[in-house]
Amino acid sequence: MIPLVKSFFPPAKELMPELEKVIYGGYVAEGEYVYAFEQKFGEYVSNPYSLSLNSGTAALHIALMLAGVGKGDEVISTALTAEPTNVAIKLTGAKVVWGDVDIQTGLLDPKSVREKISHRTKAIMLVHYAGMVCNLDEFNKIAAEYNIPLIEDAAHALGSRYNKKPIGSNASYTVFSLQAIKHMTTVDGGFLCVKDKSAFDKGRLKRWFGLDKTKARLENDITEAGYKYHMNNVNATIGLVQMRHIKEIVAKYIDNGKFYDNALKNIPGVETLHYYPNTESSYWLYTMKVDRRSDFIKVMEANGITASELHLRNDRHSIFAESKIELPQLDEFYKKMVHIPCGWWITKEDREKIVETIQKGW
Ligand SMILES: *Cc1c(COP(=O)(O)O)cnc(C)c1O
């Protein structure tokens, strides 16, 4: 079976000596490897204020706290995402307010978001689903007009771009995940990219109990409780070795995605998705719409290809009962949405076989 997702690791002869060095080097907690990794990652996303964490969920939680989101507030978000996006909002005590999606992309629709803004709205959560970048031209206008910060959940969008610049360098808060199946993994880990040193320093305190690591322990005074969300030297070492491969790995996702955009354009029963102006996807998944989805999935599976909707729309979970609302465009999109394998492990032969299988019909 050709899988839909797969972890990439550098060859053992490259990774293992580095891991052995750090594990037996006497210091596995947050230290020089973590700071070196932050530096390299920051260069990759063109943002020197890149804060490493132990998960993308931790990054979401800190972003929400830095945006001042708390009990009684509202955050506008999308139901079409992995659960951590919205569970993190719930953790702050805020209410999730669903915006509807754009039927052409599956991404949050700026028109719908405008309608949902209230005096309680403290942040807008944008998910660059499958690597596709949201309509940032419009969302930046909304953010400026209402003075509401955007939080970009870019867990799927490492290597995506807006106005030719990497995602991670544009917004007040951008969240990345280094979980097992994302473009790049450190086994687990995450990043929060922020706009300036002051936000970076606040995030640093939040990730480690409220203690300031740049000061001696005995000179510290915790003024606000923080979490244990920091990255350690072992995960950071994996990240440092991964960084040597990241450009090449992301390029493979993008090459396969663009191939599908072309090859699947005019097939009856298939609708490829649109991309917004000034955006470039890094195609973590290849998402499209198909007629009779369950038949499509069966035929793909019979041919050794995994195809799936992958994510349960989040508004189906009981914890979001208070947010329940009609989302007609999401209903329409979700009925047809499917993902096909697109990542670094997909060879030219694989992708041709996948397209031929689709062309034969289902
Ligand atoms: C993976 C993922 C996250 C969370 O990342 P973790 O590192 O697993 O905590 C958040 N949002 C989306 C959309 C994700 O896919």
130-177 per-position pLDDT tens digit: 999 999 999 999 999 999 999 999 999 999 999 999 999 988 999 999
What is the domain extent for residue 336?
246-359
* Interval between CA 25 and ligand 1 midpoint (Å): 31
Residue range 189-201, pLDDT digits in tens: 999 999 999 999 9
Do residues 76 and 57 both lie within one domain?
yes
Domain edge (last residue) among 211, 243, 275: 243
- Is 1 inside any structural domain? no
Domain edge (last residue) among 190, 216, 243: 243
- Is 206 inside any structural domain? yes
Do residues 263 and 237 both lie within one domain?
no
SS3 readout for 168-189:
CCCCCEEEEECCCCCCCCCCCC
pLDDT of 170 reads 86
What tokens appear for 347 in the block? 């060879």
- Is 6 inside any structural domain? no
Do residues 300 and 167 both lie within one domain?
no
pLDDT of 347 reads 98
Do residues 88 and 179 both lie within one domain?
yes
Largest Cα–Cα distance of the chain, in whole Å? 70
How many separate domains does the chain show?
Answer: 2
Do residues 274 and 319 both lie within one domain?
yes
The SS3 of residue 247 is helix
* Interval between CA 269 and ligand 1 midpoint (Å): 31
Do residues 87 and 220 both lie within one domain?
yes
- Does 153 contact ligand 1 (Cβ within 6 A)? yes
Query: Exposed, middle or buried, 132 (CB in 10 Å: 0-12/13-18/19+)?
Result: buried
Which residues in the chain come in under a pLDDT of 70?
none
pLDDT of 344 reads 98
The protein residue with its alpha carbon nearest to ligand 1, atom 8, reads 179
Do residues 221 and 276 both lie within one domain?
no
- Does 156 contact ligand 1 (Cβ within 6 A)? yes
Q: Which of 52, 53, 57 to mutate to test the pocket of ligand 1 (most atoms within 8 A of CB)?
A: 57
* Interval between CA 155 and ligand 1 midpoint (Å): 5
Domain edge (last residue) among 225, 243, 261: 243
- Is 139 inside any structural domain? yes
Do residues 81 and 193 both lie within one domain?
yes
What's the CATH number where 333 sits?
3.90.1150.10
Rg (CA), the chain: 21
- Looking from the CA of residue 57, the nearest atom of ligand 1 is 9
What's the CATH number where 48 sits?
3.40.640.10
Q: Which of 5, 160, 182, 184 to mutate to test the pocket of ligand 1 (most atoms within 8 A of CB)?
A: 182
